[in-house]
């Protein structure tokens, strides 16, 4: 297997709106990230993925782009961006940015033009369909953000497609001119020196132009939009015309791509993307919605998913490891225990994140063990996903408001978007003004300054593991082997490269567990989230890393 920097990457995801506000308007910005560049260097990460920083009316917080080659007003200027890139590069940190080209904002010049008339040159940049005879939309598809995917444009009498909200019209990738526009904007950023792209919902760019209704039994199965007939042709073209010309990293957000399809995107012989990330362990809409809530995934199933992806990709491609991002709840609240064992379980999850085969992604705030926030009322949320769902389910369908709020308080994306508490001062030191989204009220006890000051904190554990991974190729490239595949509470595996081996053992739950693992005999305990250990058992959420 070839060794490359992006396989050795330890990625830190920044959601700029929530990271650090530098000018008191309550919104995180690029200068705020510049202020904290030393913090990122201290943590030890070597790649930052920054969520969208482009001009946007912010219906979906930047995932609705109105100018791909300019900076969002609230975030600063192009000069700030250039400085941020330089400041990161000076610290040995590469920067990958978001590429959101399944859809644009309805405020983008292209869409504004497209709406003007059916023969406007930009009309075909989007996806228009005539109504059915009775005036209904072309089919029964549902949007990721509730309601039909079709919005009627009164002036022309045609519907346009939007898989997300109506302010995010889908772009028409069948149009070669649109594709050239995308390649040009990619070159614009690459020529500035950015180191690659995280590609938003990239498997959705090729549509089924027959626009069939959902097949029987799969109503509102949103994975059906993925892997369209021409997606690989488009990605190969993008690779040939742009990506191949640069030493850059790509990671596709691959909702609707299952393990058996992964190598079609990332196989080293495919010339498409380098890496993708899947949703198997974070759930689709069936397991995870505002009406019925959320089903916890048993660890046995969880490690099965990781094993399957590792095995399927093998040495023909490269995997991605993550437990959370800006679209999910906080990892310690979701997979760990955010009350009694917050610190222990956050460290246990860090252990799993940073010792598997595949590029790990740390989501901002997880390195200090941030928890979900307590959202009490619909007015406390900002995310269009939860607000739209409230309208459709509570105001439209009669779902009880309390039931909705209980579910939202577990799964809403805003849990990951609460501002980072930098200190124990007012608003966690995130802003001197009024934060755009509530600061988690736990900031007096969970904040960066305290975590950095405390040698036993989650922060220092992340720091230690990052350093260990960087110093040991076996933790990056070593083969993964599950040592207790049938154990329902203990996740234990080896990572082996030539004559180097690490054994990782974690107790995923809060009960003490008996441990029989001959593989650790005679090995040295290198890292653990507990100061003292018992021979034949693991304490709640205990994690250990053994080496030679
Ligand atoms: O996410 C796509 C996506 O599938 C999620 O919005 C999904 O619906 C959600 O995780 C389920 O809870 C990407 C971005 O990451 C997201 O922030 C954007 O809102 C979305 O695309 C549209 O651009
Ligand atoms: Ca600001």
Over residues 45-95, the pLDDT tens digits come to: 999 999 999 999 999 999 999 999 999 999 999 999 999 999 999 999 999
81 lines ligand 1 (CB under 6 A): no
The set of catalytic residues is 200, 253
460 Cα to the center of ligand 1, angstroms: 31
- Whether the Cβ atoms of residue 162 and residue 151 lie closer than 8 Å to each other: yes
Closest ligand to C-alpha of residue 170 is: 1
Asked whether the beta carbons of 31 and 80 are under 8 A apart, the reply is yes
Q: Per-residue confidence at 159, pLDDT binned at 50, 70, 90?
A: very high
Q: Is 164 in the pocket of ligand 1 (CB under 6 A)?
A: yes
The pair of three-digit structure tokens given for residue 219, joined into one six-digit string: 């109503």
Name the β-bridge partners of 99: 199
- pLDDT band of residue 296 (cuts 50, 70, 90) is confident
CB under 8 Å to 191, separation ≥6 — which residues? none
122 lines ligand 1 (CB under 6 A): no
Task: Check whether 213 has a pLDDT greater than 80.
Answer: yes
Q: Residues within 5 Å of ion ligand 2 by Cβ? A: 21, 23, 25, 27, 29
CA of 308 to the centre of ligand 1 (A): 24
Quick check: CB of 200 below 6 Å from ligand 1?
yes
Q: Ligand 1 centroid to 174 CA: how many Å?
A: 23
Does the Cβ of 505 fall within 6 Å of ligand 1?
A: no
Closest ligand to residue 431's CA: 2
Predicted TM-score of the model (pTM) = 0.98
Q: Band the pLDDT of 1: cuts 50, 70, 90.
A: confident
Closest to 141 measured CA to CA, from 201, 206, 227, 210: 210
Taking the CA of 388 as reference, the closest ligand is 1
Assess whether the C-beta atom of 158 lies below 6 angstroms from ligand 1. Answer: no
d(CA 503, CA 482): 10
Residue of minimum CA distance from atom 5 in ligand 1: 327
């Amino acid at each position: 297997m070839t060794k490359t920097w992006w396989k050795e990457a330890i990625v830190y995801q920044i959601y700029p709106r929530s990271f650090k506000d530098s000018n008191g308007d309550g919104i995180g910005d690029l200068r705020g990230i510049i202020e904290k560049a030393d913090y990122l260097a201290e943590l030890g990460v070597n790649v930052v993925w920054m969520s969208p920083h482009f001009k946007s009316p912010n219906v979906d917080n930047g995932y609705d782009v109105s100018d791909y080659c300019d900076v969002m007003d609230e975030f600063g200027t192009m000069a700030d961006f250039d400085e941020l890139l330089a400041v990161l590069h000076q610290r040995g940190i590469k920067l990958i940015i978001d590429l959101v080209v399944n859809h644009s904002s309805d405020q983008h010049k292209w869409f504004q033009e497209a709406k003007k008339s059916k023969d406007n040159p930009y009309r075909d940049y989007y996806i228009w369909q005539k109504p059915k005879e009775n005036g209904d939309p072309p089919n029964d598809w549902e949007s990721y953000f509730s309601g039909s995917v079709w919005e009627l444009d009164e002036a022309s009498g045609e519907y346009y497609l939007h898989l997300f909200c109506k302010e995010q019209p889908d772009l028409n990738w069948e149009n070669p001119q649109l594709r050239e526009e995308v390649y040009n904007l990619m070159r614009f950023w690459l020529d500035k020196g950015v180191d690659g792209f995280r590609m938003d919902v990239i498997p959705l760019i090729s549509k089924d132009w027959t626009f069939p209704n959902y097949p029987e039994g799969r109503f509102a199965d949103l994975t059906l939009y993925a892997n369209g007939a021409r997606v690989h042709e488009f990605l190969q073209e993008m690779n040939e015309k742009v990506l191949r010309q640069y030493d850059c990293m790509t990671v596709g957000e691959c909702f609707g791509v299952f393990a058996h399809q992964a190598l079609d995107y990332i196989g080293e012989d495919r010339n498409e993307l380098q890496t993708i990330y899947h949703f198997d362990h974070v759930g689709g809409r069936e397991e995870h919605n505002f009406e019925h809530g959320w089903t916890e995934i048993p660890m046995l199933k969880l490690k099965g998913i990781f094993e399957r992806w590792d095995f399927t990709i093998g040495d023909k491609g490269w995997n991605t490891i993550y437990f959370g991002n800006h679209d999910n709840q906080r990892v310690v609240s979701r997979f760990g225990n955010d009350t009694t064992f917050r610190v222990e379980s956050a460290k246990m999850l860090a252990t799993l994140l940073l010792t598997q085969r595949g590029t790990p992604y740390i989501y901002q705030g997880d390195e200090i063990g941030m928890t979900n926030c307590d959202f009490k009322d619909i007015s406390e949320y900002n995310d269009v996903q939860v607000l739209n769902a409230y309208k459709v389910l509570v105001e439209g369908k009669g779902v009880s408001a309390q039931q909705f709020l209980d579910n939202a308080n577990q799964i809403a994306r805003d849990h990951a978007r609460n501002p980072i508490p930098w200190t124990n001062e007012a608003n966690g030191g995130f802003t001197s003004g009024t934060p755009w989204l509530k600061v988690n009220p736990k900031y007096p006890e969970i904040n960066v300054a305290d975590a950095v000051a405390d040698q036993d904190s989650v922060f220092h554990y992340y720091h230690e593991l990052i350093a260990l991974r960087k110093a040991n190729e076996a933790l990056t490239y070593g083969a993964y082997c599950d040592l207790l595949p049938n154990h329902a509470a203990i996740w234990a595996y080896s990572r082996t490269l030539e004559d180097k081996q690490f054994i990782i053992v974690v107790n995923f739950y809060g009960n003490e567990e008996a441990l029989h693992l001959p593989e650790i005999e005679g090995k040295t305990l290198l890292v653990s989230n507990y100061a003292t250990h018992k021979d034949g058992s693991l304490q709640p959420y205990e994690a250990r890393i053994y080496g030679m």
